[in-house]
Amino acid sequence: AVSLRALADARGLLFGAAVNHTLFDPNEPDYARTLNRHFNAVVAENAMKWAGLHNNREAFAFGFADAIVDTAVKNGQTVRGHTLVWHDSLPPWVYTIQTREELLRAMQDHVTGVVTHFRGRVRMWDVVNEAVSDAPGHPLRSSPFLNLIGPDFIDEAFRAAHAADPDAKLYYNDYNTDGLNGKSDAVYELVRGMLVRGVPIHGVGFQAHLNTDFDVRGAQVQANLQRFRDLGLDVQMTEVDVQLRPGRPEAGELARQAAVYRDLLRTCLSVKCAGFVTWGVTDFNSWRAGGRPLIFDDVYDPKPAFAALAQEL
Ligand code: XIL
C-alpha cells in the first residue's frame, strides 16, 4: 500500500504518531514497521511528561524518552516534545512546594533541564498544555502553577524553554479548541497577549480528540486555525483521534470516521499547517481503545480513514 510518510514528506508536512516505548518490542514487529513506513514524526505519548522524566526531584530519568528519541532520529523522524508544563502527570514533590519563588524556580529548572537534554534532537515543544479551563468564561485552569506562581507561569515557561534551546519551536497546546468557540477564543486571547508581551511562542497545537459526530465545517475549524495563522503562528493538529459512537452500524461509523479525518487534514493543509499527529498508531493501543479512534486497526491493517488521509495527502 501507499506510504503516508512519503506523501507527507513530499508536501513538507509533519505527519506523526504518539508512541509508547513499551511497543518497541521484538514480539510486536508490526508496530515499528507501521510507524516507520507511515509517519515522519513521533511524539512520546507519556514518556516526556513531568512524572515520566522527573519523578525524583533530585534527578531526571531520561532513559525511556531517550530510547524513543534515539529510535526516531535513527529512522529519520522528527520529534515533537510533549509536554513541559501541564496540570496533570505531576509527581508528588511538586505538590509539596509552598511558595511562589520555590515553584517558579522548580518549574524553570524542569523546563531548562528537559529542553537542554534534548536540544538539537527535539525540534518543537508543547511548552504549556491545557492551561485554559472548560468552565464558563474559560479562565485559566486551577493547577499548582496558576495557584502559586500566578498566570505569568505561562510566559515564564516559554522564556525558560527558549533560553534552553533558541532553535526549538515552542507551542501552546489544548483540546476542544479546534473549532471557533469560547475556549478557542480564550486561547486566542492568551497567545495574542503573549505575542504583545514579546514572549517566545511560535505555534499553537490543537489536540483534536474527536468523535464521529464532529463536523469540521460546522465547527468552523478553518476560520479558527486561520486566525492563529494570521497572528504569525504555526498551527498543528497534535493528538488527532476520532472515536466511533457505540451502538451504530460499523460500516457507517468507519465511513464517517474517515470523513472526519479527511476534512480535518484538508482543513489543516488549507491553512498551511505544520503538522498532523495521530494519538497512537493502532486502535488496540489507543488511550481510547474502546472507540477504535485511529487509522490502523487492531492487527495493523489500514482502515477507511487511512485511505481518506492518503487521498488528501
Ligand atoms: C494521555 C495518554 O494517552 C494516556 O496514556 C495517559 O494515561 C494520560 O494522558 N491530552 C494530552 C495527552 O495532552 O498528554 C493525553 O495523553 C491525552 C489528552
Ligand 1 atom nearest to CA at 280: 3
Residue from 200, 281, 290, 274 nearest 14 by CA: 274
pLDDT at residue 83 tops 80: yes
Q: Which atom of ligand 1 is nearest to the CA of 173?
A: 13
The percentage of residues in the chain with a pLDDT greater than 90, rounded to a whole number, is: 97
**Strand positions, DSSP E, the chain:** 14-19, 41-44, 78-86, 122-129, 169-174, 203-206, 209-211, 234-243, 275-278
Q: How far apart are CA 80 and CA 78, in angstroms?
A: 7
Which pLDDT score, from 0 to 100, does residue 21 have?
Answer: 83
Please provide the distance, in angstroms rounded to a whole number, between the alpha carbons at the two ends of the chain: 14
Q: Are 161 and 170 in contact (CB under 8 A)?
A: yes
In the residue annotation, 156 being an active-site residue is answered as no
Position 75 confidence tier, pLDDT thresholds 50, 70, 90: very high
E strand or H helix that includes residue 178: none
Local confidence band at 49 (pLDDT 50, 70, 90 cut-offs): very high
DSSP code of residue 142: P
130 is catalytic: yes
Could you give the count of Cα atoms lying within 13 Å of 230 in the half-sphere of its Cβ?
Answer: 7
Q: Which CATH superfamily is domain 4-290+302-312 in?
A: Glycosidases (3.20.20.80)
CA-based nearest residue to 72, from 16, 125, 25: 16
Distance 238 CA to ligand 1 centre (A): 12
* In the predicted structure, residue 1 carries a pLDDT above the cut 80: no
Domain ranges of the chain: 4-290+302-312
Q: Is 88 in a helix, a strand, or coil?
A: coil
The residue from 45, 156, 239, 312 that is catalytic is 239
Tell which atom from ligand 1 comes closest to the C-alpha of 82.
14
Under the banding of pLDDT at 50, 70 and 90, the label for residue 252 is very high
pLDDT digits (tens, 9 = 90+) for 135-184: 999 999 999 999 999 999 999 999 999 999 999 999 999 999 999 999 99
**In the block, residue with C-alpha cell 513530499:** 10
pLDDT of 191-249, one tens digit each? 999 999 999 999 999 999 999 999 999 999 999 999 999 999 999 999 999 999 999 99
Residues with CB under 6 A from ligand 1: 45-46, 129, 175, 207, 239, 287
Distance 286 CA to ligand 1 centre (A): 10
Q: Give residues with Cβ within 8 angstroms of 73, minimum separation 6.
A: 79, 121
The whole-number pLDDT of residue 23 equals 83
Average pLDDT, stretch 128-132?
99
Which residue's entry shows cell 508544563? 85
Of all protein residues, the one whose alpha carbon is nearest to atom 9 of ligand 1 is 46
Cis amide linkage into residue 83, ω under 30° from 0: yes
pTM of the model: 0.98
pLDDT for the residue numbered 24: 85
Pick from 278, 279, 288 the residue to mutate for probing ligand 1's pocket: most ligand atoms within 8 Å of its CB.
279
238 near 275, Cβ under 8 Å?
A: yes
When computed from its CA atoms, the radius of gyration of the chain, rounded to whole angstroms, is 19
Mean pLDDT of 269-281: 98
Q: Are 133 and 139 in contact (CB under 8 A)?
A: yes
Atom nearest to 287 CA in ligand 1 = 3
In terms of Cβ atoms closer than 10 Å to its own Cβ (0-12, 13-18, 19+), residue 50 is buried
Pocket probe for ligand 1: among 46, 127, 207, the residue whose CB has the most ligand atoms within 8 Å is: 46
Neighbours of 163 (CB within 10 A): 14
For atom 5 of ligand 1, the residue with the nearest CA is 287
Burial label for 197, CB within 10 Å (0-12, 13-18, 19+), is exposed
**Which residue, among 141, 226, 244, 158, has the nearest Cα to 195 in the 3D structure?**
158
